[in-house]
Structure 1
C-alpha cells in the first residue's frame, strides 16, 4: 500500500518541498495523523537524492563538457523512531556508518577508529552507544557535523512527541545540518524550533485522488464489492481525504467475502466526521445571560430577572450536548 498511500495527486507538493530543501531551508510538514506526511517526506527525499547526482547513473560525462563547480556531497540521515533518545541513537549510528562521526567520539574502543566504517558491526557497539545520554550523543554529533565538508540532511519522520527540554539539542543540530520533519501538532513550548522552519501543510487528498486511491486499493486487496461505484463514493466521503482512513476502510472490507450495499452504507470513519466549534457561541450566550440578569437587578424588573434565570438553566442543560457536537455533520 505504501506506493499508493498519500502520494496520488501530490506531485506539486513534493516539488515544492524539494525546492525549499534545495534552497537550504529547514522544512516542517504539518497535518493530522494519517494524512500522508511521512509518505510525502520519503517521496521528496527520493526526488532530491536523484537530482543530487552530477550525471545520470547510466551516462558518462562528455569529453567536451566543461567542468562545473563541484557540489558538496549530500548525506541523508533518515530517522524513523518517534522517541527522542531513539532518534539520536539512530542519528549517531548513521553518521558513524557514513564516516562522519568517529567511533572514539561515541566512547567506543580506539581500535574502531582504524576500521573503515563499513566494517564496524553495529551489533557489537550498539550497547555502548545506547548507554550514552542525549547530551553525550549531541556532544559527539555536533563537532562532527561542524567539521564535515559535505551537506547533511536530517529527515525525521515525526517530532510531535518532542518535549521543550529536548529543544536545545535539536536547535544545536539545526545550526549544523539541514532538517526536514513532520508534526501532527505544534507544541507551544517548541516555538524556537518551529520559527526556524518553513511550514508546509500536507492537505487532504482531492476527491478525485481519493477515488483513484480507493480503486487502486480495492484492486490490490482483491475486495469483492456488490456496487463498486457506491463503495468508492462512500469511502471518499467518509475518509475526508485522509489516506490512512482509506487504507483502514479498505482493509476492513477485505475481511468480508462480499461487501453488499447495506455494509457500504454502514461504513463509518472518524476522519470523515466534522465538528462545528460552538465555543464562541457559548461564550457570547453566557455573557448575554449574565448581563441580562445584572440589568434586571439594576432596573428592578422581576420578569426580566426570571426570564434570564430560565435562560441560564436552559444554557447549562444544553452545554453538554453542544460540547459533544450537537452540530456534528457527516
Structure 2
C-alpha cells in the first residue's frame, strides 16, 4: 500500500519538480552534515540557546494564583529582584514628581534600599537625573552628588571647591534643573549635612531619604514619612523559597513555617534565616523587634483603683477609701506623663 501511494504521488509530479525536490533534499542533508563536522561549537550554541529560551518561557504565577505541587510560587533568575512594596513605590515616585520630599522609615532589613533602587531606576527610565548616595563624610557626599550630576568640582584656577562652595554650587544646579536626591541611611549623616538638606527641602528640591528610627528633628521633622510595615507571610515565604533554591537546599513546609516565625515580616531576616539553616546553626528565635501594647493593662489597673475607692466608701472603710484615692491620683499622673512621652519611649522592646 505504501509503495502504491508513493507511485501515485510521484506520478502526479512532472520530471522538473522531481529533479528540484531531489536536489533540495541532497543539499539539506549535506549542509547539516557539514555544519556538524566543521562547526560543532555553533550547533552546540544554537542548541543551548534554544534550551535557554525554553527554560525562560516558564510561567511565573502571581502570589494570588495556585501553584503545582513542588513548584515554587516565584521563579527569578539571578540578578533580578521582585518589588513587594509596589504601593509604596508608586506613592514615593508620585510624591517626588510633585516636587516634594519623602522619608521612608523602617527597621534594618525591611527593604528600604531595595525600594530606593527601584525608585531610582523608575525615575532614570523616565529621563530624570538622580543622585543616589550613601552616608560618608560631608565632603565625600557632596563630591559624589556633584560627580553624578556632572557638576564641576574645581574652580577656574583648577583648585578643588570647598564644602561650602560645593553646597552653593549644587543648590544652584538643583534650582535650575529638575533633579532628585536619594540618600540611604540618612540617620547616619552628619547633623550639619542634614541641616543643609533641610534648606534644600525649603527651596523645593525633591529628595528621598531612607532612615532607621530617624530622630524627630532637623530635616526628618519637616517632610512626610512612610513607615514600612512587615511583609505579608506569602511574600516572606517566596523570599525564603528563592533563597533556598539559590543555595540548593530543600525546605519542608514545616521548616519554612518555623523560619518564617523568626523573620517576622523582615525580608533581610528571612534570607538570613535560610543561611543559618543552610549552615546548620541552631537559632532559638529571631532578633526582630516585638512591640506590645500595654494600654489595656493600664486601663484595668485604673479601673481597679476606682473600684477599691468605691468599696472603701461603701463599707465606710476610711483607710481603704484613702488608699484608693491616692492610688487613683498617682495612676492618673503617671498615665498622663507616659502619654506625653515620645512615641518611641512608649514601646516595650
Same fold (TM over 0.5): yes
Q: Partners in 2 of 1:40 and 1:302 — Cα distance? A: 63
1:184 equivalent among 205, 209, 212:
212
2:104 equivalent among 26, 29, 33:
29
| 2:44 is equivalent to residue 16 of structure 1 | no
In the alignment, what sits opposite 1:95? 146
Instruction: Note closer, same or farther for the CA distance 1:12–1:210 as it changes in structure 2 (3 Å cut).
Output: same
* 1:270-285 → structure 2 map (5 Å cutoff): 270-271=287-288, 274-278=290-294, 281-282=297-298, 285=301
Instruction: Note closer, same or farther for the CA distance 1:2–1:152 as it changes in structure 2 (3 Å cut).
Output: farther
Unaligned runs of 5+ in 1: 53-73, 113-124, 130-135, 316-327
TM-score (norm 1): 0.62
Instruction: Note closer, same or farther for the CA distance 1:158–1:255 as it changes in structure 2 (3 Å cut).
Output: same
Instruction: Note closer, same or farther for the CA distance 1:152–1:284 as it changes in structure 2 (3 Å cut).
Output: same
Q: Partners in 2 of 1:93 and 1:171 — Cα distance? A: 19
Q: Partners in 1 of 2:88 and 2:211 — Cα distance? A: 16
Describe the SS at the equivalent of 1:160.
helix
Instruction: Quote how far apart the aligned CAs of 1:2 are.
Output: 9.7
Q: Is the 8 A contact 2:243 2:274 kept in 1?
A: yes
Instruction: Quote how far apart the aligned CAs of 1:220 are.
Output: 0.8
* 1:33-52 → structure 2 map (5 Å cutoff): 33-52=108-127
Please give the per-residue CA displacement for 1:205-239, whole angstroms capped at 9, x wherever unaligned.
221111111100011122354xx211222222331
Please give the per-residue CA displacement for 1:244-265, whole angstroms capped at 9, x wherever unaligned.
1102211111212xx9xxx6xx
Instruction: Quote how far apart the aligned CAs of 1:31 are.
Output: 1.8
TM-score (norm 2): 0.59
Q: Partners in 2 of 1:172 and 1:308 — Cα distance? A: 54
| 2:231 is equivalent to residue 205 of structure 1 | yes
Q: Partners in 2 of 1:295 and 1:215 — Cα distance? A: 60
Unaligned runs of 5+ in 2: 1-76, 332-347
Describe the SS at the equivalent of 2:217.
helix
Task: Give the count of matched residue pairs.
Answer: 251
Q: Is the 8 A contact 1:29 1:199 kept in 2?
A: yes
2:186 equivalent among 134, 138, 159:
159
Please give the per-residue CA displacement for 1:265-289, whole angstroms capped at 9, x wherever unaligned.
x652132x63423266347626964
* 1:126-141 → structure 2 map (5 Å cutoff): 137-141=163-167
Of structures 1 and 2, the one with the larger relative CO (CA 8 A, separation 6+) is 1
Describe the SS at the equivalent of 1:110.
coil
Q: Partners in 2 of 1:151 and 1:140 — Cα distance? A: 18
Q: Is the 8 A contact 2:262 2:273 kept in 1?
A: no
Instruction: Quote how far apart the aligned CAs of 1:193 are.
Output: 4.3
| 2:249 is equivalent to residue 223 of structure 1 | yes
| 2:111 is equivalent to residue 111 of structure 1 | no
Instruction: Note closer, same or farther for the CA distance 1:3–1:292 as it changes in structure 2 (3 Å cut).
Output: farther
